[in-house]
Structure 1
Amino acid sequence: MVLVTSISRGSLRDMGYVTSLFARKMVAAAGADVDARALLTSIDLDPDGPWDPKAMIPAVTYYDLLERIAAEVDVTDLPVRTGASMRLDEYGALGLAFKAATTLGASYARVERYARLWTSVVEYELREDPRGTLFILHRPGERRLGMRLSNEATLASAVSIAREVSPVPVRPLEVLVRHPAPNSVTAHEAWFGCPVRFATDLDAILFSRETLAQPNILGDAGISRYLVSHLDKELSEIADEAPLVAETKDAIAQALSEGAPKMADIARGLGLSARSFHRRLSEHGMSFQTLTEETRRELAEGLLRDEGHSLAEIAFLTGFAEQSSFTRAFKRWVGMTPASYRKDSGGR
């Protein structure tokens, strides 16, 4: 139990979330060469359900999804196509606030402040530079393929939404990307309309000061103040709810060696009624079943990377009565058996 507690309070507590909108967009941009329904179902998204930006999925699930897509199709320009498809109307109140800001610089300042509404793994920064202003993407963690694809798509989407609100064409001075370049950067430079430099110290877009000072087409100070007030309220609610998700995952991880935990028992341990617990998780775009699956999966992946535990022990620690049941579940989660994952984990 000491090891389970350590993992749950480490990797599980640190696991962030992103909006499911990004996953749906990536799958759609991948086109007919992938089974969109199967991909979305595999991460517990209803293929026919609404594209709700408030419905969150674990970042690691998102990265895994992108890597599975990459195993089926050429993803060189997938991030650019995905970013180009993003529309402000899909971001909810944040998209409206971006539109209503009086200048493009003010729009990006809203992203800098309110990005937490659709992701807990990325922070944005506006930083002055001798050549203009950098719009910087900060995303910690291993720069695995899924994260690299996500970062490229994020940078592309930042330009896509700017072009929606500006009365003149938006063309950055330069785009910087921390990871190495893909086989071709032709699509990237065609989309951004400027040089794209890889293997740099930042993930960022460099804008001229004139570009960010450009007034927005729909800029409205009165509407803007109203929307900012609404976003401040949403931000405070998320800040209040985030600890509940982390505490729930900790409690689930510590209970798994006794089998799959029951929602009522976890709720009681957190000092909540089952009804209140369910409601608060739902308001955060979560369900107890989804959190249980995510916790089991994250715990299993962490234990499999530790050669000191047998598959039978890992099955027990993740709440399975039999190793065969664990193997079937793990293959459903990641598309390979626990043994194969352990063999390949050195390159992940």
Structure 2
Amino acid sequence: MGYVTSLFLRKMVAAAGPDIEAAELLTEAGLQPAGPWDPKVMVPDTRYYAMLETIAAQIDATDLPLRVGASMRCDEYDALGLAWKAAPTLHGSLSRVERYARLWTSVVEYELREHDRGALFILHRAGPRRLGMRLSNEATLASTVSLARQVCPVPFAPLEVFVQHAAPDTIAHHEAFFDCPVRFDADLDALLVSHEALAQPNILGDEGISRYLVSHLDRELSEIVVDRPLLVEAKDAIAQALSEGTPKMAEIARGLGYSARSFHRRLSEHGMSFQTLAEETRRELAEGLLRDERHSLAEIAFLTGFAEQSSFTRAFKRWVGKTPATYRKDRLKA
């Protein structure tokens, strides 16, 4: 399981309009509806995808990713957004995202690849291409174009947009937003940007400020790498305790040599809550056990801390969009 910034969830809910249960959706995703829009608070990607699928079941979500992309602002990305603006050219801005996107998500990697017509800005995201992921990919591409338009001194449009999944019933919204051909059923998710656009000087480009911000982002990135062993150790401890039921944070903290307060603070520094970490561990453990036919569904429910198999089934369907039995069947077919 990976993570995305909660900013994306809140943006999606806001753009969806009044015909959805906004507070309920945010609560189910683990966020306080009236809480601050803190981009450093992370949410499991499966919750994000599930929320998008719930929205799509309530409204026509064809142009939702485009509206979300249009709403994105550089300043909402903190230091990364400032580094985007301060980069000397659009090529520099895209290079910043390629290097530092890990500060915002652990489920997406970006690649800036040379092309004979300019460069491809490629979105790499692993995992089943469920509806939630497809909507998220479209929003990410739209956000990139929106941010580029905020720093480019002339009107910006990519040469082409490539999307791996099938087209919706109409692509008129997509072609109007991107102002270029949009190729669905492509081999990759990417924007093709011309040489001329890449070389355009950014409106607020400043080499000095850019160097300072890059050094700041390098420090933030190194802190994520340093913190990773704590999360790995915590997940191992949670997994071992699950057969006794849902573990308590104080017990896990004590086993790792922390006070509950110190452990909570360390997790918060990583944009993580104990509840989120425990649920991720449950999900990953469940997926691993389901790939082994020797374990019955009832055994897996017990080993992942559920008192009843029905509770496990509901939780697993919320995580991955299908029941444990269906997930196992699909994995065995693959």
Segments of 5+ residues of structure 1 without an aligned counterpart are 1-14
User: In the alignment, what sits opposite 1:341?
Assistant: 323
Matched, 1:121 2:107: yes
User: In the alignment, what sits opposite 2:158?
Assistant: 172
Give how far 1:136 is off: 0.9
Distance 1:319 1:342 in 2: 15
Matched, 1:23 2:5: no
Post-superposition CA distance 1:8-50 (Å, at most 9, x none): xxxxxxx111111111111111111210100000011011111
Distance 2:259 2:249 in 1: 10
User: In the alignment, what sits opposite 1:205?
Assistant: 191
Task: Name the SS of the counterpart of 1:146 in structure 2.
Answer: helix
The aligned amino acid for 2:93 is: S
The aligned amino acid for 1:20 is: S
Segments of 5+ residues of structure 2 without an aligned counterpart are none
* 8 Å CA contact retained: 1:297, 1:330: no
Equivalent runs, 1:68-83 vs 2, <5 Å: 68-83=54-69
- Which of these residues, 257, 264, 272, is aligned with residue 286 of structure 1? 272
The aligned amino acid for 2:65 is: P
Give how far 1:142 is off: 1.5
Moved more, 299-308 or 100-109: 299-308
**CA 1:285/1:304 → structure 2, altered by over 3 Å: closer, same or farther?**
same
* 8 Å CA contact retained: 2:314, 2:323: no
User: In the alignment, what sits opposite 1:252?
Assistant: 238
Distance 2:315 2:115 in 1: 47
**CA 1:217/1:17 → structure 2, altered by over 3 Å: closer, same or farther?**
same
Distance 2:133 2:124 in 1: 12
- Which of these residues, 4, 7, 24, is aligned with residue 38 of structure 1? 24
Distance 1:117 1:253 in 2: 26
The aligned amino acid for 1:317 is: L
Give how far 1:65 is off: 1.4
Give how far 1:297 is off: 4.4
The aligned amino acid for 2:114 is: E
Distance 1:190 1:298 in 2: 40
User: In the alignment, what sits opposite 2:219?
Assistant: 233
Give how far 1:137 is off: 0.8
Task: Name the SS of the counterpart of 1:102 in structure 2.
Answer: coil
Distance 2:108 2:156 in 1: 23
Post-superposition CA distance 1:238-260 (Å, at most 9, x none): 11112322332222122100122
* 8 Å CA contact retained: 2:151, 2:202: yes
Task: Name the SS of the counterpart of 1:46 in structure 2.
Answer: coil
Paired residue total: 329
Moved more, 150-159 or 285-294: 285-294
The aligned amino acid for 1:158 is: T
Distance 1:18 1:234 in 2: 16
Distance 1:23 1:193 in 2: 26
- Which of these residues, 39, 62, 69, is aligned with residue 53 of structure 1? 39
Give the CA RMSD over aligned residues: 2.4
Moved more, 195-204 or 65-74: 65-74
User: In the alignment, what sits opposite 1:64?
Assistant: 50
Give how far 1:219 is off: 1.0
Give how far 1:149 is off: 0.9
Post-superposition CA distance 1:150-169 (Å, at most 9, x none): 11110000000011111111
Give how far 1:211 is off: 0.5
The aligned amino acid for 2:323 is: Y
Task: Name the SS of the counterpart of 2:17 in structure 1.
Answer: helix
The aligned amino acid for 1:290 is: T
Distance 2:138 2:124 in 1: 12
Equivalent runs, 1:299-314 vs 2, <5 Å: 299-300=285-286, 309-310=295-296, 312-314=298-300
The aligned amino acid for 1:233 is: R
TM-score by length of 2: 0.90
* 8 Å CA contact retained: 1:173, 1:208: yes
* 8 Å CA contact retained: 2:297, 2:324: no
Task: Name the SS of the counterpart of 2:23 in structure 1.
Answer: helix
Distance 2:214 2:86 in 1: 10
**CA 1:72/1:299 → structure 2, altered by over 3 Å: closer, same or farther?**
farther
- Which of these residues, 137, 140, 152, is aligned with residue 138 of structure 2? 152
Task: Name the SS of the counterpart of 2:18 in structure 1.
Answer: helix
Distance 2:16 2:55 in 1: 8
Post-superposition CA distance 1:262-298 (Å, at most 9, x none): 3233224334443332221010111212322333345
Distance 2:100 2:14 in 1: 26
* 8 Å CA contact retained: 2:11, 2:68: yes
Post-superposition CA distance 1:182-240 (Å, at most 9, x none): 21111111000000001111111011111011111111111111111111111111111
Give how far 1:330 is off: 6.0
- Which of these residues, 153, 157, 175, is aligned with residue 189 of structure 1? 175
**CA 1:319/1:343 → structure 2, altered by over 3 Å: closer, same or farther?**
closer
* 8 Å CA contact retained: 1:64, 1:334: no
Task: Name the SS of the counterpart of 2:114 in structure 1.
Answer: strand
